Amino acid sequence: MSIVEEHKENFNKAIDHLKHEITGLRTGRATPAIVEDVSVEAYGTRQPMKAVASITVQDAKTIAIEPWDKGLVQAIETAIRSSDLGMNPINDGRLVRINLPELTQERRQELIKVLHKKLEEARVSVRKIREEVRENVQAMEKNKEISEDEKFKLQDSLEEVVKEYNDKIRMIGEEKETEVNTI
């Protein structure tokens, strides 16, 4: 197995991280991913929402959050209000409901800017991995572990893999942008 193949797992991790990051970007429909990583003050520490409550989707526009400890209802409401999600939770004493408003064109543009930022972060991760592999290949050549021809073959192979992953990032971005712009 070549050094390029050994690092494919790192490239895959960059893609998986990107996918996880953009699931929280709100589109027109409700999904638990929107709020599951919101940080809640519970028991003296900050914890993600998914660690203190069950999150369900009641319909296409409504998310229900039911804490396992009813004393956390107020903390959950406060956490959602203070997050940058721009949502107004409704506390009925037992659970917190979030009715997702229609996205305005302005908010869609903000979400697309955030999406582009996350896509660029993924591309930077891929470039860092590429540099790491290049340095390893250079060291292998310097230590006479591989010939110069093998070095160039590995670098060509590496560029093909990087192009493949950059294309995946672009496709993921296009799909999410379409999803955000769909009314």
Tell me the CA end-to-end span of the chain in Å, nearest whole number: 47
Q: How far lies 43's CA from each of 40, 47, 52, in Å?
A: 10, 9, 10
- Left if phi > 0, otherwise alpha if psi is -120 to 50, otherwise beta: which for 12? alpha
CATH number (domain holding residue 35) = 3.30.1360.40
Q: What is the CATH number of the domain that holds 169?
A: 1.10.132.20
Question: Are 34 and 72 found together in one domain?
Answer: yes
- Residue 159: what pLDDT? 93
Indicate whether 14 and 73 sit together in one domain: no
Boundary-marking domain end, from 99, 126, 153: 99
pLDDT of residue 27: 63
Which residues are within 8 A (CB) of 158 and not within 5 positions of it... i.e. 6 or more apart? 4, 130, 133, 134, 137
What pLDDT, on a 0 to 100 scale, did the predictor assign at position 151?
86
Residues of the chain with pLDDT under 50: none
Q: So what's the pLDDT on residue 162?
A: 93
Q: Is residue 97 within 8 Å of 67, Cβ to Cβ?
A: no
Domain end: 99, 116, 148, which one?
99
**What's the pTM value of the predicted model, to 2 decimals?**
0.71
- What is the C-alpha to C-alpha distance for residues 178 and 183, in angstroms, rounded to an integer? 10
Pick from 50, 76, 99: which residue ends a domain? Answer: 99
For residues 156 and 176, give the distance between their C-alpha atoms in angstroms, rounded to a whole number: 31
Examine the domain organization and report whether 78 and 121 are in the same domain.
no
- 164 shares a domain with 113: yes
What is the rounded CA–CA span in Å between residue 33 and residue 61?
A: 14
> Is 113 found in the same domain as 129?
yes
**Do residues 15 and 39 share a domain?**
no
Shared domain check, 130 and 91: no
Q: Range of 165's domain?
A: 3-22+104-181
- Closest Cα to residue 49, out of 68, 62, 27? 68
User: Domain tally for the chain?
Assistant: 2
